[in-house]
Structure 1
Amino acid sequence: MNAPAEIVRATEAPARYFNRELSWLAFNWRVLEEASNPAHPVLERVRFLSISGANLDEFFMTRVAGLQGQQLRQVGEPSTDGLTPSQQLAAIAKDADALVAAQNKEWLNLQKLLAAEQFEVTRPRELSAEEREWLQAHFREQILPVLTPQAIDPSHPFPFIPNLGISLIFAMRDRADNEPLNELLMLPPRLPRFVRLPGDAVRYVPMEAVIEHYLELLFPGFELLGAGVFRVLRDSDIEIEEDAEDLVRHFRSAIKRRRRGRVIRLQFSVDTPQDLEQLVRDGLDAKDALISESAGFIGIADLGLLVAEERIDLKFLPYTPRFPERILEHGGDCFAAIRAKDLIVHHPYESFEVVVDFLRQAAEDPDVVAIKQTMYRAGKQSAIVDALVAAAEAGKSVTAIVELKARFDEEQNLLWASRLERAGVQVIYGIPEFKTHAKVSMVVRREGEIMRTYCHFGTGNYHPVTARVYTDLSFFTASRRAARDAGKLFNFVSGYVAPKGLEMIAMSPLNLRDRLMALIDTEMANARAGKPAAVWAKMNALVDQQIIDKLYEASEAGVSIDLVVRGICCLKPAVAGLSSNIRVKSILGRFLEHSRIFVFANGARLPDRKARVFISSADWMPRNFNRRVEYMLPIENPTVHAQVLDQVMIANLIDNEQSWELGSDGTYTRLQPGKRAFNLHHYFMTNPSLSGRGQALAGKAVPKLRLTQRG
C-alpha cells in the first residue's frame, strides 16, 4: 500500500532533500499499512485506520492550511527540495486522494473481517424487520428531536458549519405544490456517529445512514431528488501576535476563531449531485478549498469509536506495565531510590505511575519546600495537576510552566491553568515567541542542613493516557549539576534570564543545534584520525537543513550513521557521494515510538561505555532548535547508560518485524524478519529494564542484545 510512484518521484528534486510534506504523507501511508497487517487483531487494525484518518485531518488543518495561506498571499519561498507552495499543494492533493481511496478500500476489507467475528457495521435495509422496528423507535425518540433541518434559499443564508463538521445536503420537492427545496442537516456533535443495536451481537449503523433511511419522518410530504454527505476541514493553526499583551485572552479568542477558520478541504460522498456540491462550495465560500470525493465512509477518524466495544478477543492482549523494583525496595520512597542512584524508567513498559508518585510524594512530604513543573500536554484527567494542586494547598511553593501553544491542547491547558491558579500555584505562560516543549520537573527538599533537588527529565509529555502507548524515557536524578541546570531552564522561561555556565544540558533556542554540530564534528575528526566514528540517533522527525548537511558531511568523512526516524525525514540516505554511510529506518507497531536518544561513538566501537549518550525533548527540526525551549541531557550513570545504549538503542536498530527502511528514492520498504526475527516491543514487554530492576531481580539475566542480530 505504498504511495503511488509518481508521488514518490515528486520528492526527488533537487537532489539533496526530500520534501517535508510528502515525507509526512509517506509516514501516514505506513500507518495505513498497519491497518492491513495480519499480525494485528482486527480491531487494532481498525484503530490504525482511524489514526491514519485523524493524522490526515490534522495535516490539512495545519500544514496544508499554511501552504494555502502562502499561495493566496502569493508569498513563500520554495521548500528545501525546490517546490513552490502551489507545486506542493498539487502533489499533496494527488497523494491525499490516493490515500483516502486506500483507506476506504481497507475499510471494506476490515468490515468483512469484522463480520466474520460477529461484529458488523451495516445499513438499515440489511436489518431484520424486528431490528428496523427498534431502530425506527430509537430514531423517533433519541435522534429526531435533536435534528434541525435548515432550508437553503435567498431568505435563509447558508449556515455556519464548524471544523470537522459532517452534514447532509438534500434536494427535495414538496409533493403538495411541486416546489423544489434544498435542505441542509448538520449531524449534531453530541449524537454518536454510530447507533449500536441492542443485543449480544455487535451491530452498528452509521448515523447518516439512519437519518437517510427515515428521511420521510423528518420531511413528511417531500420527495427526495438527490442527496449527499460532506465534511468540512478548516484552518486550525493559531498564530501568535508578538505584541499580544494578554496571552490568555489572546488564546481564548484565537480558539474561537479557529472554529471559524478558512475552509481548507471539503470531502463529499461520491454520489453528491454536482449542483448540491456547488451550493455547498458557494455557501461556505470555499472556492480555494481542496475538494475530494469519497466512495466510502466519510470521516475515517471516527472509525476509532468502534474500538471502544468490549471485544478483548479482537484487540491486543492486555498489558500491565511494571513498577520499578528499585523504588519498591525503598518502601515506595522515590526520593530514597533516586538519592541512592540515578534511575531511568522506560514507558510504557514501566508504569507512568512512578512519575505521578514522584509528585504525589513531593506534595505530601513536609520536608519538600518547592516544586517546579513544565506542562505541555497533560490530558483531560491529570493526576499531575492533582498533585500540584495538593502541594500548593499544603503550603508549598509550586510553579507550573503551562504551555498555551500546545496545538489542539490550548483549551484544555487554559482550564488547567485556571484550576492551578485557584489553588495558589504560580502559573507561568512562558515566552510568547517560544513554546516550552522541554519536559522537566524539580522538587526541592530540605534534608537536615542542606537543600537537595530531585529532577525528572522526560522525552515525552506528562500525559497519563499517551504514556500507556508512547515509548518514552523518564530520567530521575539527584545530581547537583543537573539541578543547577534545570533551575536555569526554569528561570529562563519564567524570568527571561539567559542561562550562563550550563554544566550538563544543552538548550534550545540557545545552543542545542550548535552542541549537536560539535558532537558530529568530533566524530568526523575521529574518522579522519582512523578511530571508530559513529552516530546513532532516534527521533520523531528529521527536517533541519543544517543538521542534515552536517550529517552528509560526516557520512562522506567516514562516520557510520544509523537513524531511527519514525515520521518525517528530509534526509536522503544511501546516495553515493552524499550519504553513502547513512541508513534510515522507521518503526511502527503496537506502541508509538516517541523517545529522542542521541549516541556518539566518541572514539570507541559502538556499543561501548565510552560513547556519549543523550536523551532529549527535541526532534531535529528548525522549530525545535529555533522556536522552542528544549533540553538535551547526557547520561553518565553506567547502569542507565547501558540501558539506553545496549538495550533501547540496539533494540531499535535490530528490530525487523515493525521496521521500514528508507531508500534513496524516497520509498519505504518493510523489513522481512527471516530467521532472525526481533520485535522490540515484544522484547521490552517481556524483559525487565537494567536501571530499575533492583536486587530482587539481580540474579536474573537480561538477554544480551547484539547488532549481529540485525536482519
Structure 2
Amino acid sequence: MKELNCTGINPEETMSDIGAEHFFNRELSLLAFHQRVLSQAKVEHLPLLERLRFLCISASNIDEFFEVRVGGLKERLEAGIHTTGPDNLGPAETLELINHRAHELVTTQYQLLNDQLLPLLHTAGVHLLKRSAWSKAQKQWLHAQFEDEVLPLLSPMGLDPAHPFPRILNKSLNFIVQLEGKDAFGRNSGMAIVPVPRGLPDMIRLPNELMPDGGSGFVFVSSIIHEFIDDLFYGITPVGCYQFRVTRNSELFVDEEESGDLRRAIEGELVYRQYGDEVRLEVAENCPDVLVNFLLKQFEMTAADLYRVDGPVNLNRLNHIIELAERADLEFPTFNSNAPRAVQKKESLFEVIRKQDLLLHHPFDSFRTVVEFLRQAAKDPQVLAIKQTLYRTGPNSVIVDALVTAAKAGKEVTVIIELRARFDEEANVALSAKLQDVGIHVVYGVVGYKTHAKMLLIARRENGILRNYVHLGTGNYHTRTSRIYTDYGLLTANEAVGDDVYRIFLQLTSLGKVAKMEHLLHAPFTLHKGMMKRIEQEIIHARDGKPARIVAKMNSLYEEHLVRKLYEASQAGVEIDLIVRGVCQLRPGVPGISDRIRVRSVVGRFLEHTRVYVFHNNGDPEVWAASADWMERNMFHRVETGFPILYKRLKEKVMRELDYYLQDNCEAWVLESDGEYYLQAPPEGEVRFSAQEKLLETLTRS
C-alpha cells in the first residue's frame, strides 16, 4: 500500500472512486467551446465587424462539428458500434444531447444577428439590404447584374420521373422552388431545385451612387437569385422559393495498408467527400412543411436533423461584409510584430542562433523570423541539407517558395507532408506534386500515424564540421494563421536537440527505430510516458511535503490516463492550473477528487494554440512545449514532438506569459464542476486585465 498523502487520503482507494461522473463528454465539451466563441459576438466593447467575424467563426465551427463529430457518431451507430468512452455515453445518447444543445446554439446565432448585429451595423452605415428594402434604382441595377453575371450560370432542375432529385453537394446553397402551371410539354409542374453555383460570389457591394443616404450597401447573391427566380421558368409561375443546405459526413476513408500509393488513394477519396452521408439539413424558417418533409425524405433524415433558420442559410457568407466594407474603424487596430532584438542587430540568423536560443511567441513575435531563417538557408552556400515537416501551409506559401529555391540551388531537401491533414488534403496532394517536380524528396509520413510534428532541420558546414540548426514549433508553417493563432517556436543550435530532431527525421524516412533521445519526447513512443512521469514526480514532491505545482496550457484535454493522473496529483496535494481552450474531459473542483485543479479557457482576438507545460520540480522548473495536446490521438496515433525550454531566461518568459493567462479577468472562462463555464469578470474596483492585450503591449521584449 502506498503511504497516505498530506490530506490523509489513500490515493489507491480514492482513485478507485473515479467513475464516469468525473469525465465530461468530448462532443458536448466541444459544443461548449463553440458557444464561448459565439459569446464573443455579444461583447459590446469589441469592434462591430469583429463581433460579426466571431459569429461567422462560430458558424464555420458548427459546420465542421457536424461534418466530423456528428458524422462520426452517426457512422458508428449505423455500423452497430455502441462502445462508450470514460463518460459512459454511447453514440445514441451523445447524439440526443447534441441535438438539444446544437439547436439552442443555432437559435442564439440568428437571434444575435437579427436583434443586435444587423441593427448596429445599419446604424454604423453598413447595410445588408433585404429584397423588400431595395429601391427602384437598386433593383434595376441588381437585375442587370443578374442577367449579365448570374443567369447564364444557373441550371434549374425540374423534378419528374425523368429528372429525379439531384445529388446535392456538401454545404452547397440551393433553392427548392414550388411551381404552378403547365410545363412546355403540357404537364403539371410541381417542384424544381436551383443550385447556387460555387463560382458565384456570396455577396456584392452596391455602387456608392445607389446609396443616397450614404454608407455601404451589401446584397447576397442568393437574394438576387430569389428576387428574379421568375426569369428561370418561362411560362411557369414560381409560387415559393426557399433556401436549403445539407451537411455531409466529410471524413475520408483510406485503407492505408492496402493502398499502394497513398497520394492516389486520397485523390480518389476526395471526390466522395462532397457526397458523404447526410447529417444535417438547414432550411429557411418560412419553408412550408410539405417541402421540408419532402427534403427530409430525399436525404433520409429525421426531424432531429432539421435546422430551420431565421435568416440567411450559412451565416459564414457574412464574412464578405467584413472583406468588402473597408471600415478599419469597425475592426481591431492593426499591429506590427517585429523580430526579437537580437535578430534585428544581426544580418545572419545562423550567427544569432549559434550564440543563443530564440523563443518566438507568435503573433506577438513575427513569424517573418522563421521565414527569413529558411530563406537564408536556401541561399547560403554552406547549407547542405534541409528537412522539414509540413502539415498545413496555406496557399502561395513563402515557406514552400524557400524550399523550392533551396532545391534549385542544389541543396538536399526532404519534406514530410501529411496528406491527411483534415480539409487540407487536396492542397497537400497538389503541394507534394509541386515539390517533387523540382527534385525535393517528398515522404508522406507513416501509415496509420499522422505526422503532426512541426520541425525544421538545417545542416550547415562550418569550419569543416556539420552543425544542425533547428526550429521546433507548437503550430503549423502557415504564414496567415501565424497572425491570428498564438504559438511558440524555438530556434536553436543545441547539438543534442539537433541530434534528436535528426533521429526523428531519419525514422520518418527510413521507418527504422529511433535511438534513445537526449532531450526530446516523441509520440507515439515517449511523449505520453514523459508527461505521466513528470506528473508523478510532482505527486512525489507533494507527498514529501515539498511545494508541487503544474501549469499546463493546451487546446484540448481528452486522454483518460492523463486525466486520472491529474486527479491523483490533486489528491496528493499538487496545485494544478489548466488553460484549456477547447475540449476538457476533466471535471475540476470536485471535493476529494479534483479540488486542487482549476480550469480556464481564454477566448479572445487570437486563437489560443500554444501547448506548453510547466512542472515545478521542487523549485527547478521543467518547461516543455509541444506540437501535441493531451489527447489520445496525439499521444498514441500521431507523430508528435515535445521539446524542453532549456535556458532560464526563456523558461521565465514562458512562465511569465502563462501567468498573464492566469491573471486574465475579462477573456477567461472558468470551468465549474457542473460542466458550466462562466466568464470571469474583474471584481469591483479591480483593473481589467487581458492576457492577449498585455502581450500586444510588450511586443518582442524577450
Per the normalisation by structure 1, the TM-score is 0.93
Which residue does 1:673 correspond to in 2?
682
1:683 equivalent to 2:694? Answer: yes
1:211 equivalent to 2:218? Answer: no
Contact 1:158 1:284 in 2 (8 A): no
The farther-off stretch of 71-80 and 447-456 is: 71-80
Which residue does 1:171 correspond to in 2?
178
Residue 57 of structure 1, aligned match among 33, 56, 63: 63
Residue pairs, 1:149-160, within 5 angstroms = 149-160=156-167
Residue 301 of structure 1, aligned match among 299, 302, 316: 316
| SS of residue in 2 equivalent to 1:268 | strand
User: In structure 1, how many angstroms separate the alpha carbons of the residues matched to 2:483 and 2:556?
Assistant: 21
Contact 1:227 1:273 in 2 (8 A): no
| SS of residue in 1 equivalent to 2:553 | strand
Which residue does 1:313 correspond to in 2?
329
Residue pairs, 1:99-114, within 5 angstroms = 99-108=105-114, 109-114=116-121
Contact 1:639 1:690 in 2 (8 A): no
Which residue does 1:190 correspond to in 2?
199
Contact 2:341 2:701 in 1 (8 A): no
Residue pairs, 1:627-666, within 5 angstroms = 627-646=637-656, 648-666=657-675
Contact 2:246 2:281 in 1 (8 A): yes
- How far 1:296 moved relative to its partner? 2.2
Contact 1:34 1:45 in 2 (8 A): yes
- How far 1:388 moved relative to its partner? 0.5
Which residue does 1:626 correspond to in 2?
636
Which residue does 1:473 correspond to in 2?
488
User: In structure 1, how many angstroms separate the alpha carbons of the residues matched to 2:505 and 2:171?
Assistant: 37
Q: Write the letter of the residue equivalent to 1:173.
A: E
Which residue does 1:506 correspond to in 2?
521
Q: Write the letter of the residue equivalent to 2:132.
A: R
Which residue does 1:3 correspond to in 2?
none
User: In structure 2, how many angstroms separate the alpha carbons of the residues matched to 1:244 and 1:291?
Assistant: 37
- How far 1:340 moved relative to its partner? 0.8
User: In structure 2, how many angstroms separate the alpha carbons of the residues matched to 1:288 and 1:296?
Assistant: 20
Residue 611 of structure 1, aligned match among 597, 615, 621: 621
User: In structure 2, how many angstroms separate the alpha carbons of the residues matched to 1:226 and 1:129?
Assistant: 23
User: Residues 429-468 of structure 1: CA distance to partner in whole angstroms, max 9, x if unpaired?
Assistant: 0101001101010000000121111000001100000000
User: In structure 1, how many angstroms separate the alpha carbons of the residues matched to 2:322 and 2:660?
Assistant: 30
Which residue does 1:325 correspond to in 2?
341
Residue pairs, 1:341-356, within 5 angstroms = 341-356=356-371
Q: Which runs of 5+ in 1 are unaligned?
A: 1-11, 605-609, 692-711
Residue 420 of structure 2, aligned match among 392, 405, 415: 405
User: Residues 56-101 of structure 1: CA distance to partner in whole angstroms, max 9, x if unpaired?
Assistant: 0001001111100111122130122111111111111111111110
| SS of residue in 1 equivalent to 2:558 | coil
1:231 equivalent to 2:238? Answer: no
| SS of residue in 1 equivalent to 2:306 | strand
Residue 32 of structure 2, aligned match among 13, 26, 32: 26
User: Residues 559-614 of structure 1: CA distance to partner in whole angstroms, max 9, x if unpaired?
Assistant: 0000000000010000001101000000000111100000000012xxxxx21100
User: In structure 2, how many angstroms separate the alpha carbons of the residues matched to 1:50 and 1:247?
Assistant: 34
Residue pairs, 1:123-522, within 5 angstroms = 123-174=130-181, 179-199=188-208, 201-241=215-255, 242-286=257-301, 290-309=305-324, 310-331=326-347, 333-522=348-537
- How far 1:545 moved relative to its partner? 0.4
User: In structure 1, how many angstroms separate the alpha carbons of the residues matched to 2:303 and 2:458?
Assistant: 52
| SS of residue in 2 equivalent to 1:43 | helix
| SS of residue in 2 equivalent to 1:180 | coil
1:97 equivalent to 2:103? Answer: yes
The farther-off stretch of 488-497 and 222-231 is: 222-231
Which residue does 2:574 correspond to in 1?
559
- How far 1:630 moved relative to its partner? 0.5
Q: Write the letter of the residue equivalent to 1:560.
A: E
- How far 1:515 moved relative to its partner? 0.7
User: In structure 1, how many angstroms separate the alpha carbons of the residues matched to 2:264 and 2:20?
Assistant: 44
- How far 1:405 moved relative to its partner? 1.0
1:78 equivalent to 2:84? Answer: yes
- How far 1:128 moved relative to its partner? 1.4
Residue 15 of structure 1, aligned match among 21, 37, 52: 21
User: In structure 1, how many angstroms separate the alpha carbons of the residues matched to 2:388 and 2:441?
Assistant: 10
Contact 1:165 1:187 in 2 (8 A): yes
The farther-off stretch of 295-304 and 186-195 is: 295-304
User: In structure 1, how many angstroms separate the alpha carbons of the residues matched to 2:340 and 2:303?
Assistant: 54
User: In structure 1, how many angstroms separate the alpha carbons of the residues matched to 2:569 and 2:85?
Assistant: 24
Per the normalisation by structure 2, the TM-score is 0.94
User: In structure 2, how many angstroms separate the alpha carbons of the residues matched to 1:686 and 1:322?
Assistant: 13
- How far 1:318 moved relative to its partner? 0.9
| SS of residue in 1 equivalent to 2:242 | strand
- How far 1:554 moved relative to its partner? 0.3
User: In structure 1, how many angstroms separate the alpha carbons of the residues matched to 2:463 and 2:303?
Assistant: 68
- How far 1:669 moved relative to its partner? 0.5
- How far 1:485 moved relative to its partner? 0.4
User: In structure 1, how many angstroms separate the alpha carbons of the residues matched to 2:479 and 2:142?
Assistant: 38
**Identity of paired residues, percent?**
39
- How far 1:250 moved relative to its partner? 0.7
User: In structure 2, how many angstroms separate the alpha carbons of the residues matched to 1:676 and 1:314?
Assistant: 25
User: In structure 1, how many angstroms separate the alpha carbons of the residues matched to 2:301 and 2:170?
Assistant: 13
- How far 1:493 moved relative to its partner? 1.3
| SS of residue in 2 equivalent to 1:308 | helix
User: In structure 1, how many angstroms separate the alpha carbons of the residues matched to 2:163 and 2:189?
Assistant: 15
Q: 1:289 to 1:389 in 2, by over 3 A?
A: farther
- How far 1:272 moved relative to its partner? 1.5
Q: 1:484 to 1:289 in 2, by over 3 A?
A: farther
Contact 2:182 2:189 in 1 (8 A): no
Aligned length: 673
- How far 1:279 moved relative to its partner? 2.8
| SS of residue in 2 equivalent to 1:575 | coil
| SS of residue in 2 equivalent to 1:603 | helix
Contact 1:266 1:289 in 2 (8 A): no
- How far 1:180 moved relative to its partner? 3.1
Which residue does 2:11 correspond to in 1?
none
User: In structure 2, how many angstroms separate the alpha carbons of the residues matched to 1:84 and 1:531?
Assistant: 42
User: Residues 240-259 of structure 1: CA distance to partner in whole angstroms, max 9, x if unpaired?
Assistant: 31322210011101111111
- How far 1:690 moved relative to its partner? 4.7
- How far 1:229 moved relative to its partner? 1.3
| SS of residue in 2 equivalent to 1:519 | helix
- How far 1:14 moved relative to its partner? 3.2
| SS of residue in 1 equivalent to 2:38 | helix
User: Residues 492-547 of structure 1: CA distance to partner in whole angstroms, max 9, x if unpaired?
Assistant: 21111221120001110001111111101100000011110000000000000000
- How far 1:289 moved relative to its partner? 7.9
1:595 equivalent to 2:610? Answer: yes
1:550 equivalent to 2:565? Answer: yes
User: In structure 2, how many angstroms separate the alpha carbons of the residues matched to 1:642 and 1:459?
Assistant: 18
User: In structure 1, how many angstroms separate the alpha carbons of the residues matched to 2:591 and 2:21?
Assistant: 12
Q: Write the letter of the residue equivalent to 1:651.
A: Y
Q: Write the letter of the residue equivalent to 1:162.
A: L
Q: Write the letter of the residue equivalent to 1:116.
A: T
User: In structure 1, how many angstroms separate the alpha carbons of the residues matched to 2:45 and 2:433?
Assistant: 45
User: In structure 2, how many angstroms separate the alpha carbons of the residues matched to 1:326 and 1:430?
Assistant: 35
Which residue does 1:702 correspond to in 2?
none
Contact 1:346 1:474 in 2 (8 A): yes
- How far 1:346 moved relative to its partner? 1.0
Q: Write the letter of the residue equivalent to 1:16.
A: H
User: In structure 1, how many angstroms separate the alpha carbons of the residues matched to 2:35 and 2:652?
Assistant: 34
User: In structure 2, how many angstroms separate the alpha carbons of the residues matched to 1:364 and 1:289?
Assistant: 59
User: In structure 2, how many angstroms separate the alpha carbons of the residues matched to 1:632 and 1:662?
Assistant: 27
